[in-house]
Each structure stands twice: as C-alpha cells, then as structure tokens.
Amino acid sequence: MFDPPKSKVAISSCSSYDPAILQKKIAQTFELIGGLDKFIKPGMKVLLKPNLLSAKEPMRAITTHPEIVAATAREVRNLGAEVIVGDSPGGAKRGVRRVWENTGMLAMAEREKIELVNFEAGGVVKMSIHDHHYFLAKPAVEADFIINLPKLKTHVLTLMTGAVKNMFGLIPGFRKGVYHKEAPKPEEFAHIIVDILSLRPPHLTLMDAILTMEGDGPSSGNPRWVNLLMASTDPVAIDAIAATIIGLNPERVPTTRLASEAGLGLGWPEAVEIVGEKLSEVRIHDFKLTSNRKLELIPSTLSRLLGHYVWVRPAIEDDTCTRCNVCVNSCPTGALQSSNDSKAPFFNYKVCINCWCCHELCPSRAVFVDQSWLARKFIR
C-alpha cells in the first residue's frame, strides 16, 4: 500500500539561552532533520526572520530571543553562506531601531557582525494570488533562502502564533493595518496570512519554544518556560505540533487549518513524523490559553440573538496607560481616539473590528480583554 511522505518535525529539549548550550542544541536539532548542510550552500544569501513584534526585552517572551538568531547565524555562516536578519515590527512608526535595541537584536548583530535589514526602508515587491495583491519586503523576496525563527505564543485573534503567522512580518509598515481592516475576523485574517505564506514560504523553520507566552498573547500574556526547540521544513506541521504541545487542537487554529487545506503543509499531528523528544512527554497540561478562546464555539445564530449581551472587546486600564497613543496610531479603523483631557484613549466600539492590534501593540500591557457578564459565563 502507498504510504504518503510525512513531514518531519524535530523536537529538542533546551532550557537555556546560554550561547554555548544553545549552539549545541540548535546544531543537534538541525541534525535531526538531516543537517543544515542539506539545505544551505556556499554563497547563498540567507534571511533569518525572527518575530520582533515590539520593542521589549527578550525575557518578556514577546520576541524571538537574540541568542537563537546568533546561534543560527553561526551555523549558516559555517557553511559559507551570507546572513541577513529582518522583520517588520508592529508599530514601526516609532522607529525600527528602537525595536532592534530593546529586543537585544542590535547588540547581538554588532557583536556577531550581522546585517540587520530594515524592511520598512528596503522596498517592496508586488505579488498576487487569488486576485489579491500583496506588497512583500524586497529583501525577503530576493533572499535565496529563508529561515523562519518564530516565537511560540498564544494570540487573542488567531489562538496561537508560530511559524505560519510569523510570515505576516514580511509585510512592511502600515499595510499590515490595511489587511487587518480588510479581514477583521480570525478566519478572514488567517486567509491573508496563508496567502503570504504561499507567496513566500520559508525554506526552514526553527521555533523558539524555550520561553513562550501563555494567557492573552501575543504581548500581554505571561512568559512560560516550555524548554523546547523545534525545527522543520514544514511550517504548518511545526505549528500543528506546537499547538498540540500547549493543549490546542490544531484544527481550531485558523492559520494551521487553512494553510493545511491550501496544501502548504500537514496540519494534523498524526501525519507528522516526530524525531527527538516524544510528543507525549513534552505536552504541557496546564498551559494557559487565551481568555476569549471559547467564544467562537457559541453557535452563530445564538451569537446573533445575544449579540448585545455576549461580547469580548478591548478595554484600557486607566492606571496603567501612559497616554503614549501607540494604540491610537495603530488602530486601522479609527475606533480609538486620544482624549483631550489627559485621560486614556477612548473606544468607539461601533467601528471596532476586534482586530486586537491595540492589545498586541500597547507597550504597557494597558489594553486588556474585556468580556460581558454573559460572555464570561459562556467561556469560563
């Protein structure tokens, strides 16, 4: 009987960002999927694509740890290839350099003599799929090889963020907000991400699942040690396995399900060959998922009937808010407006599309997931 080929996902235990330990563990993890030399050839230009969501220090678990980038870069350079590092951070208006500095990327890049590429200034390439046009960062399109370096985190819009969602960072600047506006629902937004993935899929993914984020990620949750590194050529399979590890059904993660349906990888764990650690031994049974995750389980007819009574929406903690207006400037619909009387920005919920950009980009964790009394009863 014909046995279709399986995607391979390597899982290695690693509980430290110590450079020497990490170097060894990353080399071993790549070895489990056949060795980096199978993919990287001398003279190639290799883009390392971390998650640099916002200007926060590495141990907040919002961004890929810089030592993951450094160790991967060394492995690539040892094979005679050239390395560049790039991403388009959220809220890039406040300056990409600030993000590089605060995430530890700048110090790491200076130490390792690696070029950091500013996607906001490097030009774009127009690419089309399903009659939809996308503008992707030119350095990402022109690189010979992309190594995707996502951070494993929960996500209030897409339940989790990993390899597939990390490719949204190939879209520079304000256009990210435009796509959020065009596709406000999780499923619609996941379609956009899957389009981007199909236009420029990474050749290889190494997931930073050492210090992850649980709760209301991708920026307002809490750091959680999972102590794993994962690698695969299949970004969908690696997300499916990561979801399983943190207690999420991969079929419920829209980016995984839609990418799998689009034939971009294998989104069901049974179809994946796991090498290294055993899946049953690394699963976390008390990982905290997002607080709004069960709302989608309410039947749509009931949800329409109870619309005024069952809601989940962003709100601002006045005491924590620093009035920086990052949320106001990031809101794609103008639903957030600054206050004239030194109060926190206020919402016009009539035009709020629940894209959660304000929650994702608030540097002070002042935006929280607010729920009506009835919603709390449903999604407890």
Residues that bind ligand SF4 (CB under 6 A): 314, 316, 321-327, 331, 333, 335-336, 344-345, 347, 352-358, 362, 364, 366-367
For the chain, list the strands marked E by DSSP: 7-13, 45-50, 82-87, 115-118, 124-129, 132-137, 145-149, 151-155, 159-161, 204-214, 222-232, 272-276, 312-316, 336-337, 346-347, 367-371
Contacts of 118 (CB under 8 A, 6+ apart): 86, 96
Q: Amino acid identity, residue 371?
A: Q
Q: How far is the CB of 164 from ligand SF4 (least distance, A)?
A: 21
Q: Which is nearer to ligand SF4, 237 or 352 (CB)?
A: 352
Q: Which is nearer to ligand SF4, 112 or 296 (CB)?
A: 296
Q: Which is nearer to ligand SF4, 86 or 217 (CB)?
A: 217
Q: How far is the CB of 300 from ligand SF4 (least distance, A)?
A: 20
Question: What backbone torsions phi and psi does residue 49 show, to the nearest 5 degrees?
Answer: -115, 90
Q: Which is nearer to ligand SF4, 180 or 257 (CB)?
A: 180
Q: How far is the CB of 299 from ligand SF4 (least distance, A)?
A: 24
Q: How far is the CB of 298 from ligand SF4 (least distance, A)?
A: 19
Q: Give the residue among 193, 190, 281, 206 at the shortest CA–CA distance from 238.
A: 206
Q: Which is nearer to ligand SF4, 285 or 308 (CB)?
A: 308
Q: How far is the CB of 326 from ligand SF4 (least distance, A)?
A: 4
Q: How far is the CB of 368 from ligand SF4 (least distance, A)?
A: 9
Q: Which is nearer to ligand SF4, 22 or 327 (CB)?
A: 327
Q: What is the dihedral of CA 296, 297, 302, 303, to 10 degrees?
A: -10
Q: Give the residue among 254, 252, 292 at the shortest CA–CA distance from 379.
A: 292
Q: Tell me, what DSSP letter sits at residue 102? A: H
Q: Give the residue among 24, 3, 124, 10 at the shortest CA–CA distance from 74.
A: 24
